[in-house]
Structure 1
């Protein structure tokens, strides 16, 4: 059965009534979906439980992986293919992708874990070595008869990489089981059960909870009458829309273990989740695949919690989680692999400062742009931002950064306790991704004028700390600081306790490969237990 939400041309009353009617029919029609050939029993609709872990059989619209088999405590778990790194169409204006453009593959599996479990991963291709990342997860693996075997003691997001390569990895998305009362349908709790469901967009109102069950796939389908809007500036056709929209609402939740895919939406197209002019919103536990534009946009909102969200995207402009002109936003325990900035703060509107943003315990894989930071559109001030206890498995360009293209001032930003695995060797990809640089960087702080900015005046950067950063690869990743002019400078930046495997702390700008260019002031490097600091500029 297909779920079809009504598009924006309908009246609000018709939207709500039709949407709830479809959902009511869906709930009544749902049947338990047991994974064929597995031991154990489904304890509620669509859930397969074996020895205190749970998984779901996805519908045929999610392609199975041919690259890996995964078993947990001897029971096979479904593994699926995700498109990553779609081939880029370089052209005047906005770079894009041809329809059905070739792409690399990554595999992923989704499961809930209630207690420690032994996992076996069997790749279909020959390999010499394997690693379970991030390294600070402390998961040690061994290879037994062609299988990679390890134990995990707690829910976490892990990546299995073969032979030190960033090609064709396996992403294991492991969570704590949701309370069963989250899944009960009521007037305010809307449930999407197992199966494939098409939607032209869902709008949520105050007080509503949307549960996308494990085994459910919500597919974004563009209305036939939507021809898009061609931009002379960018030489591309934009398609506006959102799969899940929360606007002018409060006390809203989106939870579950289901999947949302926008594979059928042309690039550049819809946002996956848009939270706008709202407060007290929670998004937790779902997986977003193949976005056509920004995955999650939190715009002019406050008290927003995003937790255990999983994102895998292949196309350009698919920023992971963008907190835009918002306040009191918490982002925790998310996995983000995408083809643009990972988790960043922006201020697209003027006179609407962003403040008190925390990003903690997240794992990122950045195939393009910045992994973590404050980036590009910065028309209002940004202050009090913390990125803490995060893991960067891979970054093609810049692991961390602050990039000011507009007039806003960025201050009191901390990058702390971050591990950089630096998977994949040199970073050069011999394709369009090399256009932004041939070597990944640790930190890039710049004030500049570019196509993403709108203001005539530039902003400023001050009071930034990059501390307790562990680089686990075999090379020092360079860093760059560059201001704009005497009135728009970068001031008071501290690099403290930056370490490299086998070399320990990097004690000065030279060993850090830190370049402080024009219009920067009061840049310091501290290391280890030393109280003395090198004054770079």
Structure 2
């Protein structure tokens, strides 16, 4: 077996450890952070690794998601053991207790050199320490570097900046700010407004009070190898607001509200009303807890156009039951005037969708502000596999005869391996829509 290339660094001395889980990778102990009942372990590795887990409660049934990896732990004494190929992002669930999972996030090793900590353009947060940074404001050409093993209690803000970066393998922690303020943009864990040339890479963003990673009115944004764990109501993972040319790749998002939300709104900055174009979300894992949606466009769509959007090669491991009849896995909620068009969902595995599978609507909602309604057209679903759980319902519904849903193509939609070739087979309601086709 080829030895994996692994980067390990000790955690901050004051880090809160899980009181339930212990983890070893290739025989080396990895610190497990505790967070509201869950545990999460962070490291960087490339190649085949052996993972060992000790669970103090000795669970009988253990499921490792995403299921497509086919990982079946073997119990040897009091230790669970399995092999995996890194980089990989996993959720390990014990006896069906989904409020107490163990997340194992293995990012690829860093390839770019670490920045010079003495450079005045670098905010360097050293590993093995806890930093109370408050609000970190970035200007042109500046970098925040959060070293592996570092915990930064703080928020990041930039306005009108170019060529900025937030990277490393450490943690940006929002737990100290959850009740510190009310009603301001400082609630957001990372607010980047009207910026160009943005890189966010490798960090984990944990336990903020509301939206977590929020590029607003930005161009040329790269969000890669990021992990987000949120519990707050309205605790969105990544909100792409009025942006152009954005890629999200190899992310893991567990959020109590939208995992990904693409929208146009000026809640926090007027640049958020810009059109949205060229957004790609790929090779990522999503867990949508009780509220919101997994992969969302909307509700706020206060711009002329939202177009050229692609979600591909992703795993939605959970879309939990919300109970307000508004949540779903693949959702377009056009609540304002935008023309939402040219959207592709491709090669996506869905493991547990308790809300609607597909929910596409032109509507007036509690979030709507525009007087006129918009349009939704040219939406394609290709190679969507529901691999576990129940088959949820789907709804495609326009607003009126002038605002129909148009040109929806669904090809190779399967449930437990069986093709779903009609709306009836897919438990789909279609109203005020034109040209909804199964292939």
| TM-score higher than 0.5 | yes
Is the CA contact (8 Å cut-off) linking 2:242 and 2:273 kept in structure 1?
no
Instruction: Determine the C-alpha separation between the residues in 1 that align with 2:348 and 2:430.
Output: 22
Instruction: Determine the C-alpha separation between the residues in 2 that align with 1:465 and 1:266.
Output: 39
Instruction: Determine the C-alpha separation between the residues in 1 that align with 2:399 and 2:316.
Output: 29
Aligned to 1:378: 301
Aligned to 1:414: 344
Q: 2:209 aligns with which of 267, 292, 306?
A: 292
Q: 1:325 aligns with which of 239, 242, 263?
A: 242
| 1:524 and 2:429 correspond | no
| 1:217 and 2:151 correspond | yes
| 1:514 and 2:390 correspond | no
Structure 1 residue 57, shift from structure 2 partner: 2.8
Q: What do the CA deviations read for 1:156-209 (whole angstroms, capped 9, x no partner)? A: 111111234423111101012213722432233331112111122011111112
| 1:197 and 2:120 correspond | no
Aligned to 1:19: none
Is the CA contact (8 Å cut-off) linking 1:272 and 1:296 kept in structure 2?
yes
After superposition, where does 1:227-376 map in structure 2 within 5 Å?
243-266=155-178, 270-348=187-265, 352-367=274-289, 368-376=291-299
Is the CA contact (8 Å cut-off) linking 2:295 and 2:330 kept in structure 1?
yes
Is the CA contact (8 Å cut-off) linking 1:281 and 1:303 kept in structure 2?
yes
SS of 2:209's equivalent? Answer: coil
Aligned to 2:386: 471
Gaps of 5+ in 1: 1-49, 84-104, 221-242, 428-438, 527-537
1:251 to 1:169, Cα distance in 2 relative to 1, 3 A: same
Which protein has the larger Cα radius of gyration, Structure 1 or Structure 2?
1
Q: 1:453 aligns with which of 365, 368, 371?
A: 368
1:51 to 1:347, Cα distance in 2 relative to 1, 3 A: closer
Instruction: Determine the C-alpha separation between the residues in 1 that align with 2:381 and 2:112.
Output: 41
Is the CA contact (8 Å cut-off) linking 2:91 and 2:101 kept in structure 1?
yes
Is the CA contact (8 Å cut-off) linking 1:446 and 1:482 kept in structure 2?
yes
Is the CA contact (8 Å cut-off) linking 1:130 and 1:162 kept in structure 2?
yes
Gaps of 5+ in 2: 267-271, 321-326
Q: 1:115 aligns with which of 47, 58, 63?
A: 47
Q: Which has the larger strand fraction?
A: 2
1:363 to 1:216, Cα distance in 2 relative to 1, 3 A: same
1:516 to 1:52, Cα distance in 2 relative to 1, 3 A: same
Structure 1 residue 366, shift from structure 2 partner: 0.6
Is the CA contact (8 Å cut-off) linking 2:43 and 2:105 kept in structure 1?
yes
1:366 to 1:351, Cα distance in 2 relative to 1, 3 A: closer
The number of residue pairs the alignment matches comes to 417
Aligned to 1:175: 107
Instruction: Determine the C-alpha separation between the residues in 2 that align with 1:199 and 1:190.
Output: 10
Is the CA contact (8 Å cut-off) linking 1:56 and 1:78 kept in structure 2?
no
Instruction: Determine the C-alpha separation between the residues in 2 that align with 1:456 and 1:135.
Output: 44
SS of 1:63's equivalent? Answer: coil
Aligned to 1:24: none
SS of 2:114's equivalent? Answer: helix
Structure 1 residue 340, shift from structure 2 partner: 0.9
SS of 1:136's equivalent? Answer: helix
Structure 1 residue 305, shift from structure 2 partner: 0.2
Is the CA contact (8 Å cut-off) linking 1:206 and 1:250 kept in structure 2?
yes
1:251 to 1:421, Cα distance in 2 relative to 1, 3 A: same
Structure 1 residue 59, shift from structure 2 partner: 2.6
Aligned to 1:11: none
What is the TM-score when the length of structure 2 is the normalising length? Answer: 0.91
Superposed CA RMSD = 1.8
Aligned to 1:391: 315
My pick for the range that moved more, 469-478 or 263-272, is: 263-272
Instruction: Determine the C-alpha separation between the residues in 2 that align with 1:55 and 1:470.
Output: 36
Aligned to 2:16: 63
Instruction: Determine the C-alpha separation between the residues in 2 that align with 1:60 and 1:512.
Output: 52
Q: What do the CA deviations read for 1:409-452 (whole angstroms, capped 9, x no partner)? A: 10011111111111xxxx8xxxxxxxxxxx42211111221221
Q: What do the CA deviations read for 1:261-309 (whole angstroms, capped 9, x no partner)? A: 1112235661111111111110001111111111011111100000011
Instruction: Determine the C-alpha separation between the residues in 1 that align with 2:430 and 2:359.
Output: 10
